[in-house]
Chain A
Amino acid sequence: MKHNVKAELRQSMDAIHFSVEDKERMVEFLLSAEAAPKKRSGKKLLLITLAATLVVGALTGAAVFTRWSRSAQAAYNPPQQIKEQAEKTGLSVMLENKTKETNPGEVLSATDQGITITAVQSIVDNYGADLFFRIEGFTLPEGRAPEMFWDRDRVTIDGSTEFHDSMTGWFYDGTTRNEAGEWVYASNGLPVKFGNDKYQSAIYQWVADDGSLEYQMAIRFQDNGESYLGKEFAIHFDGIGVGAEKGGIMEEPLVSGSWDLHWTLTGADNAENSVTITPNMEIGDSGLTLLEAEIGQKTIRAVYQSDHDWDGWKQLEFLSPGLYQIRMKDGSTVQVVPTQEDYARWETERICEVTYETFDGILDVSQLDSLAYDKGSEIGADGQRIHTFDYIPIQ
């Protein structure tokens, strides 16, 4: 059964109107307004304005394009220009640079049991938040991986726990991928070493030179049309310890305590910091058509329609061909990974909506060239894997 939303909306709105008496009162107000000071009917409000704002965006005042957190730097390896853009659009906020004078009421650092946890940086858009914390004062036992302890019921936005589709965290391990794709230590670019234990575990560099560790949380918001920007994020940590040893069962809190942090979550509004295209173009000869795509600095959303039936998604296969990377006007590329595929409209319309995230860069949305879909790969003469792509231009 079809519903005429326009007609229903018009009918409902038609029923919202001032009464004759209301309008008479307004006419009297207008006639007296020029002779008298402002006069309001209804409530009197005594306001105390604060410097706080509901509007999302970067911090006002002189922007300081500072060193990013170790994990964000290693993950995105952003050149200075990208850092500047990310901070100007509000995608990245260096939380540790916020001052109590301009942000009263926020708690960005907490100390208990001799350990200080500080919120260092946030990278946030409409779809998710990556939060970076520094931990100081904790001594990590030799050969063990650190673990953070917190309860999902103690992570809230505006007091609600119902904001995320997924939420996870991990400690920065000091490693990254170099331009050749090799796994190296971020501190010196040398290849990651492996131990002599029976598991030949990788040897990580959890602890920075200053003795601190860094913890990252990745939150993906519920796709309910609600914006979480400008709302208060709060988290309670209740322990720091070590992860389960190989062959072991339980992670173990070594220090129990109470660390409460909260601040206004700001970020980049994708409506203002993205490019939207509606190409309605088939990807190569795959039978999959890209209907529309929103390409933001960090999150890409695309809507596809297939010309044939396919139920691989029921076996958790990924839609093919997959978006592999974004090509920029200067020829450089930023790889993406799919984080969510929505097949709610597949049965009726063969439509799938896919969300991707960049994983080795942040996009300059003014320099986008094309979406590169993976056609396949082969090993080249130099032993490196070579991918070929079908391109959809971004105009």
Chain B
Amino acid sequence: MDEFHARRLVDLYADTILRISYSYLKQTCDAEDICQTVFLKYLTSNCTFDSIEHEKAWIIRTTINACKDHLKSAFVRRTVALDEAEAVAAPPVPDTEVLDALKKLPEQYRISLYLFYYEDYSAKEIGDVMGKTEANVTQYLSRGRRKLRELLEAERRQVV
């Protein structure tokens, strides 16, 4: 891969991968690892993309799968060694009510809301990247919105 295409990939998708990782994992510490995993798969895959939308959907789907793999490995992990010399700071996350509330939702609701509200994906498109039916996603969005609203209202009532 030449530098032009490497920069294109990073500029277009690195932050998207970061935000999806955050939505899934509720932290950004492992986002760079997730990003490298996704980019490596991009390099080694044989996929050809019809359009930039097609490419982006592939990136999002691969990121979600990488996050799931990451969670599984964390669950069964027995020994972890930190390479202190290469430790990097995690990208900062703003301290906002909506992100706090988002973190309290189940992961499928979080991802659906992120893709719907931030990436402007339709329920069908979200279903395609998550491997769920449109009906499932509609349910996730409906319940996620309701829960998010309840959490935000509860938080704001306490502040008042």
Chain A residues with CB under 8 A of B81 = 43-46
Q: Mark A16-53, 1 if CB is under 8 A from B, else 0.
A: 11110011011101110110001011111111111011
Chain A residues with CB under 8 A of B109 = 225
| Residue in A29, A31, A46, A276 whose CB lies within 8 Å of B138 | A276
Per the bound structure, the CA–CA distance linking A75 and B22 in Å amounts to: 44
Shortest beta-carbon distance from B20 to chain A in Å: 10
B98 touches A9 (CB 8 A): yes
Query: Is A100 positioned at the interface, with any CB of B under 8 Å from its CB?
Result: no
Query: Is B129 positioned at the interface, with any CB of A under 8 Å from its CB?
Result: no
Chain B residues with CB under 8 A of A50 = 76
Chain A residues with CB under 8 A of B138 = 276
Query: Is B64 positioned at the interface, with any CB of A under 8 Å from its CB?
Result: no
Q: How many of chain B's residues have a CB under 8 angstroms from any CB in A? A: 71
| Residue in A13, A29, A272, A276 whose CB lies within 8 Å of B36 | A29
Per the bound structure, the CA–CA distance linking A52 and B71 in Å amounts to: 13
Per the bound structure, the CA–CA distance linking A227 and B138 in Å amounts to: 18
B117 touches A43 (CB 8 A): no
| Residue in B18, B71, B79, B88 whose CB lies within 8 Å of A16 | B18
Chain B residues with CB under 8 A of A227 = 106
A276 touches B135 (CB 8 A): yes
Known: A43-B82, A52-B76. A26 touches B91 (CB 8 A): no
Shortest beta-carbon distance from B23 to chain A in Å: 8
**Number of chain A interface residues as a range:** 35 or more
A13 touches B143 (CB 8 A): no
B139 touches A5 (CB 8 A): no
The stretch of B25-33, B45-53, B54-62 that contacts the partner chain: B25-33
B80 touches A45 (CB 8 A): yes
Chain A residues with CB under 8 A of B108 = 271
Shortest beta-carbon distance from B67 to chain A in Å: 12
Within 8 A of A (CB), among B101-145: 102, 104-106, 108-109, 113-114, 117-118, 132, 135-136, 138-140, 142-145
Per the bound structure, the CA–CA distance linking A131 and B102 in Å amounts to: 32
A42 touches B77 (CB 8 A): no
Chain B residues with CB under 8 A of A38 = 40
Q: Mark A347-373, 1 if CB is under 8 A from B, else 0.
A: 000000000000000000000000000
B33 touches A40 (CB 8 A): yes
| Residue in B1, B28, B77, B148 whose CB lies within 8 Å of A34 | B1
Per the bound structure, the CA–CA distance linking A42 and B32 in Å amounts to: 8
Q: Shortest 10 CB-CB distances between A and B: which pairs?
A: A30-B6, A15-B94, A8-B98, A12-B96, A48-B78, A17-B15, A46-B79, A225-B147, A50-B76, A6-B117
Which A residues are closer than 8 A to B by beta carbons?
Answer: 1, 3, 5-6, 8-13, 15-19, 22-23, 25-27, 29-31, 33-34, 38, 40-50, 52-54, 225-227, 271-272, 276, 292, 294
